């Protein structure tokens, strides 16, 4: 066996990693430490130059009230999405796995189907369903889905709709991989289906639930597509509704790349802290490890 | 690994299943309803959209499609073709890179293996936004921003797929087969291309599907990278359509028809490839 073979096989991945992951990350960190300095009237060549400002941009990003408001909105939205989406995914996975349910195949395919719908299209569908002039829902329920107090729930609904099926499938596939005789043993001991679900299945699912939760945390912190797509339909979503939207605005609308870079690193940092923090907490609770 | 297609054991209790079945059906209706509604909405002429019952079919479907395809000289076709190029090309390349990397990581012991694996997998945790902006700037510097490459290239490396491919290669390729090949004098390249890759095909189909859907659904990257709407994928195209039509109800039927048409290929793919959707990702067990 040639010693170089595995390295050769890994070359494409390593090159891509370097070009599209390592270099951009390094470049973001570099940009985040710069600022444009304007001298004189800011006219003419050489009057604008990049100066190194160290951690000033990070300090500004952390102190930015607009960003914090965005964080708070996303925190509310994200908690709602996580709890409802993962709760439903768990419920559906357990129901699908129970021997007594009918039409399981149809339900499984139907619930997984929104996974095939792009976020833009999903938001568009629901957005029109929320519009008073078109909505069949509005004929039954008289709620303004796009009002200032309801729009977060409406957006969370889009995310739940799009994400529940995928998470359900992850949990369901994990359940199907469990040897059936484990349940037989529990049944022989007199356990009901419900008890088996609570006492046997859920504990086995814990690692899969943790994994889906971490991925969902990372995704909800970066929410961008849904609020951006819904914006044209309502005036209750600002251009800085979520932290990521603020990054986009800073970078491409107001043209302040340095702030955008610093803010995006702060977002990355917070999502890492939240993911690892969550992992730590659940590990302590679930496995009793320090 | 046929977890999903398992036949469920028929329970004796036909009545005990009513409540669980009802709950699942409510979930199914919740998930299907918006798709069903947009199908109906796409059949309505602009006048019918606001006048007829929201759940009654209209008569304008063909007109809507014709109008949509004629919209700005058929830009919708272009968006559809672009999406196919991005998602198809990107997913093919991504699957190839992932399969070969996963194979190398699973079947060779070499210095730096864990370091390389951990680095590649660490990419999962990097938020897309940290990458998209500098990627755009770097692409602009070399003059490739607003090009097909700018959307295609960054999506080839997919840490999750490498992880999956590694698990799959470890399970699907017996060491004895590789050893036998080596004794017969096959080169490592030949072993990879003739022995390992054919064995990995079922796993590669799964990876391809997930990548295809992920790229098809991606909005942020093309939204940032592209300025010329002739290169837009459907997601960005639909967004611009919505943006220009939000205050013009006369465009609503086009937006709804466009949304519906953009769903059809993915749902068709999704339904025909049902049995390939495997997400033993969490259990880490590919059997």
Summarised one tens digit per residue, pLDDT across range B224-233 is 999 998 999 9
Mean pLDDT of chain A: 88
Say what angle helices B90-107 and B197-217 make with each other, to 10 degrees: 140
Distance CA B43, CA B69 (A): 15
pLDDT at A1 over 50: yes
Could you tell me the fold of the domain covering A57-287? Answer: MetI-like fold (1.10.3720)
Lowest mean pLDDT: which of B1-15, B17-31, B45-59, B135-149? B1-15
Residues 6+ apart with CB under 8 A from A131: A138, A146, A233
Distance CA A198, CA B78 (A): 51
Per-residue pLDDT reduced to its tens digit, A202-247? 998 998 898 889 889 888 988 999 999 999 988 899 999 999 999 9
Per-residue pLDDT reduced to its tens digit, A120-157? 999 999 999 998 877 777 767 778 888 888 999 999 99
Which one of B242, B248, B257, B271 makes the best mutation probe of the A interface by having the most chain A beta carbons within 10 Å? B242
Which residues 171-230 of A have a C-beta within 8 angstroms of B?
Answer: 171-174, 176-177, 180, 207-208, 211-212, 218, 221-222, 224-225, 228-229
Per-residue pLDDT reduced to its tens digit, A234-282? 889 999 999 999 999 999 999 889 999 999 999 888 888 888 888 888 8
Inter-chain CB proximity A110 and B279 less than 8 Å:
no
Lowest mean pLDDT: which of A18-27, A213-222, B43-52, B254-263? B43-52
DSSP, res B155: G
The predicted model gives A168-183 an average pLDDT of 88
Whether the CB-CB separation of A107 and B24 falls below 8 Å is answered with yes
- Cα-based distances in Å from A26 to A128, B29, B110, B132: 41, 47, 28, 13
Residue % of chain B over a pLDDT of 90: 61
* pLDDT recorded at residue A100: 76
Distance CA A98, CA B74 (A): 50
* pLDDT recorded at residue A46: 63
B237 three-state secondary structure: helix
pLDDT at A177 over 70: yes
Stated length of chain B:
287
* pLDDT recorded at residue A287: 58
> If you measure CA to CA, which chain B residue comes closest to A90?
B24
Inter-chain CB proximity A3 and B110 less than 8 Å:
yes
Residue B42 has which token pair?
């796409």
Residue % of chain B over a pLDDT of 70: 90
Stated length of chain A:
290
Distance CA B181, CA A163 (A): 44
> CB-CB: which of B11, B103, B135 is closest to A9?
B103
Q: What is the pTM of this model?
A: 0.88
Inter-chain CB proximity B101 and A9 less than 8 Å:
yes
Say what angle helices A202-221 and A65-97 make with each other, to 10 degrees: 150
pLDDT at A194 over 90: no
> CB-CB: which of A14, A31, A125 is closest to B259?
A125
Residues 6+ apart with CB under 8 A from B263: A116, A117, A121, B35, B38
Per-residue pLDDT reduced to its tens digit, B163-190? 999 999 998 999 999 999 999 999 999 9
B137 three-state secondary structure: helix
* pLDDT recorded at residue B55: 74
Whether the CB-CB separation of A97 and A179 falls below 8 Å is answered with no
Complex ipTM value: 0.88
pLDDT at A48 over 80: no
Residues 6+ apart with CB under 8 A from A214: A275, A278, A279
Per-residue pLDDT reduced to its tens digit, B60-77? 888 899 999 998 888 999
Mean pLDDT of chain B: 87
DSSP, res B108: -
Categorize the per-residue pLDDT at B31 as very low, low, confident or very high, splitting at 50, 70 and 90.
very high
Instruction: Give the H or E element holding residue B270.
Output: helix B252-272
Say what angle helices B197-217 and B234-245 make with each other, to 10 degrees: 10
* pLDDT recorded at residue B129: 74
> CB-CB: which of A10, A109, A125 is closest to B104?
A10
The CB density around residue B31, as the number of other CB atoms within 10 Å, is 23
The predicted model gives A41-69 an average pLDDT of 82
Inter-chain CB proximity B282 and A170 less than 8 Å:
yes
pLDDT at B46 over 90: no
* pLDDT recorded at residue B88: 96
* pLDDT recorded at residue B248: 78
The CB density around residue B244, as the number of other CB atoms within 10 Å, is 13
Categorize the per-residue pLDDT at A44 as very low, low, confident or very high, splitting at 50, 70 and 90.
low
Do the bridges between strand A34-38 and strand A48-52 make them parallel or antiparallel, or are there none, so unpaired?
antiparallel
The predicted model gives B199-208 an average pLDDT of 92
Distance CA B193, CA B200 (A): 10
Say what angle helices A65-97 and A104-112 make with each other, to 10 degrees: 160
Per-residue pLDDT reduced to its tens digit, A98-109? 877 888 889 999
* pLDDT recorded at residue A47: 66
Per-residue pLDDT reduced to its tens digit, B132-168? 889 999 999 999 999 999 999 999 999 989 999 999 9
3-class DSSP string for chain A: CCCCHHHHHHHHHHHHHHHHHHHHHHHHHHHHCEEEEECCCCCCCCCEEEEECCCHHHHHHHHCHHHHHHHHHHHHHHHHHHHHHHHHHHHHHHHHHCCCCCCHHHHHHHHHHHHHCCHHHHHHHHHHHHCCCCCCCCCCCCCCCCCCCCHHHHHHHHHHHHHHHHHHHHHHHHHHCCCCHHHHHHHHCCCCHHHHHHHHHHHHHHHHHHHHHHHHHHHHHCCCHHHHHHHHHCCCCCCCCCHHHHHHHHHHHCCCHHHHHHHHHHHHHHHHHHHHHHHHHHHHHHHCCC
The C-alpha angle with vertex A273 and arms to A207 and A203, in degrees rounded to 5, equals 15
Domain(s) of CATH 1.10.3720.10: residues in chain B: 64-276
Domain B64-276 has CATH 1.10.8.870: no
> If you measure CA to CA, which chain B residue comes closest to A160?
B31
Residue B199 has which token pair?
């064995």
Residue B37 has which token pair?
């509604």
Inter-chain CB proximity A17 and B219 less than 8 Å:
no
Distance CA B259, CA B65 (A): 11
The predicted model gives A15-36 an average pLDDT of 93
pLDDT at B282 over 90: no
Does residue A276 belong to the interface with chain B, where contact is any CB pair within 8 Å? no
CA distance, residue B27 to nearest chain A CA (Å): 6
Distance CA A30, CA A53 (A): 10
Domain(s) of CATH 1.10.3720.10: residues in chain A: 57-287
Q: For chain A, what is the radius of gyration of the CA atoms?
A: 24
Closest CA to B85 of B162, B164, B147: B147
* pLDDT recorded at residue A40: 64
The C-alpha angle with vertex B57 and arms to B52 and B61, in degrees rounded to 5, equals 105
Residue A9 has which token pair?
């096989």
């Amino acid at each position: 066996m040639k010693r170089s073979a595995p390295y050769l096989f890994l070359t494409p991945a390593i090159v891509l990693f370097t070009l599209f992951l390592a270099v951009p990350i390094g470049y973001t960190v570099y940009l985040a430490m710069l600022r444009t300095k304007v001298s004189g009237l800011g006219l003419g060549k050489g009057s604008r130059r990049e100066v190194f400002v160290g951690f000033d941009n990070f300090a500004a990003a952390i102190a930015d009230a607009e960003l914090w408001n965005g964080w708070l909105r996303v925190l509310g939205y994200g908690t709602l999405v996580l709890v409802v989406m993962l709760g439903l995914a768990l419920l559906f996975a357990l129901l699908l796995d129970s021997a007594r349910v009918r039409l399981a195949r149809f339900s499984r395919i139907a619930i997984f189907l929104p996974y095939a719908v792009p976020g833009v299209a999903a938001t568009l569908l629901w957005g029109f369903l929320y519009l008073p002039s078109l909505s069949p829902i509005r004929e039954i329920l008289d709620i303004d889905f796009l009002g200032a107090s309801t729009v977060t729930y409406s957006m969370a609904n889009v995310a739940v709709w799009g994400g529940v099926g995928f998470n359900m499938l992850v949990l369901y596939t994990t359940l199907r991989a469990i040897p059936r005789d484990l349940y037989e043993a529990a049944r022989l001991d007199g356990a009901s289906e419900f008890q088996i679900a609570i006492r046997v299945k859920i504990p086995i699912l814990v690692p899969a639930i943790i994994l889906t939760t971490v991925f969902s945390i990372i995704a909800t912190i970066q929410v961008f597509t849904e609020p951006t797509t819904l914006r044209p339909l309502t005036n209750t979503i600002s251009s800085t509704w979520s932290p990521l939207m603020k990054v986009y605005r800073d970078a491409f609308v107001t043209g302040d790349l340095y702030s955008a870079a610093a803010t995006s690193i702060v977002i990355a940092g917070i999502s890492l802290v939240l993911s690892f923090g969550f992992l730590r907490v659940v590990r302590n609770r679930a496995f009793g490890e320090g | 690994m046929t977890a999903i297609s398992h036949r469920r054991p028929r329970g004796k209790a036909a009545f005990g299943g009513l409540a669980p079945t009802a709950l699942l059906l409510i979930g199914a209706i919740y998930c299907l309803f918006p798709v069903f509604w947009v199908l109906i909405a796409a059949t309505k002429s602009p006048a019918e959209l606001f006048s007829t019952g929201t759940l009654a079919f209209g008569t304008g479907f063909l007109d809507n499609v014709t109008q949509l395809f004629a919209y700005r000289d058929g830009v919708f076709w272009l968006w559809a073709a672009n999406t196919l190029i991005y998602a198809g090309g990107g997913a093919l390349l991504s699957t190839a890179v992932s399969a070969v990397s996963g194979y190398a990581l699973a079947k060779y012991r070499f210095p730096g293996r864990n370091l390389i694996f951990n680095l590649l997998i660490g990419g999962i945790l990097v938020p897309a936004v940290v990458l998209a902006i500098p990627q755009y700037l770097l692409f602009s510097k070399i003059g490739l921003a607003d090009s097909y490459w700018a959307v295609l290239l960054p999506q080839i490396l997919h840490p999750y797929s490498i992880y999956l491919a590694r698990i799959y290669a470890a399970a699907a390729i017996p060491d004895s087969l590789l050893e036998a090949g080596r004794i017969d004098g096959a080169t490592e390249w030949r072993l990879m291309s003739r022995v390992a890759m054919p064995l990995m095909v079922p796993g590669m189909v799964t990876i391809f599907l997930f990548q295809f859907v992920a790229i098809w659904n991606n909005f942020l990257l093309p939204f940032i990278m592209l300025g010329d709407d002739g290169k837009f994928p459907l997601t960005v195209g639909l967004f611009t359509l919505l943006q220009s039509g939000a205050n013009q109800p006369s465009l609503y039927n086009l937006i709804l028809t466009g949304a519906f048409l953009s769903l059809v290929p993915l749902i068709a793919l999704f339904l025909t490839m049902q049995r390939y959707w495997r997400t033993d990702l969490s259990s880490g067990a590919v059997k």
